[in-house]
Amino acid sequence: MNDLADTSAQPATLDELRRNLAPLIADAAAFDGWTREAVQQAAELAGVDPELAAFAFREGQMAMVTAWIAHVDEVMLRAVPPESLEGVSIRERIRRLVMARLDAAAGREEALTRAIAIMAMPGNVVAAGKLGWRSADLMWRVAGDRAADYNHYTKRATLAALYAATLQVFARDTDPEKAETRAFLDRRIEGVMRFEKAKARFTRQPDQRFSVTRLLGRLRYPSR
């Protein structure tokens, strides 16, 4: 894969080691699952002490999946830096960022399917929700969102749901060009944009909103 981290130098921290090994573990996970065997295989390929790698992922499968997501974050930021989005519509910014993340997982659909199953386990749902929120928050920040009110939360919740649904389609899309995934993503983004426009109308300033009381008052006391 062309998004592999540089493993020629020994990582300075365990977090760096996890990110470096994550794509290699994902490759192995397609055959071995997200297991200790996958970690060992990745360590051998990277020239890392297998015992150190095992220690780095001692917390198990979710630690491996979390590291892979962190790796995807880095790939996305390299592929779509904030400055590349200047002058681009919000709709297109989000589309590019989501596609960059999907491109980082291309060729690893089986590993992704297994990771989704792991995150859906009852004991992992809370951690998986936090990971989805973090991914959505990063995409919105790269897209330039500075909302500090309740929109900060609704935007991230909406994007997290959109991304999760798109991942499901991507994982089973056998077309090398991912036409079904792209079409699904475009439809979902269009739906979100319509929702945001409707929400903006509903949350306008009080004096700009439709008011039944005001209408009845005008009917009773028409302006002269």
> Residue 93 domain-assigned?
yes
* Residue (of 160, 130, 120) closest to 66 by Cα position: 130
Q: Which residues contact 195 (CB under 8 A, 6 or more apart)?
A: 158
* Residue (of 177, 157, 178) closest to 166 by Cα position: 178
> pLDDT value at position 8?
46
Domain count, the chain: 1
CATH number at residue 201: 1.10.357.10
> Residue 178 domain-assigned?
yes
> Residue 37 domain-assigned?
yes
User: Is the pTM here over 0.85, yes or no?
Assistant: no
The parent domain of residue 197 ranges over 14-208
> Residue 216 domain-assigned?
no
* Residue (of 63, 76, 135) closest to 105 by Cα position: 76
* Residue (of 57, 48, 61) closest to 15 by Cα position: 57
pLDDT digits (tens, 9 = 90+) for 168-193: 999 999 999 999 999 999 999 998 88
> Residue 224 domain-assigned?
no
> pLDDT value at position 14?
93
> Residue 155 domain-assigned?
yes
> Residue 6 domain-assigned?
no
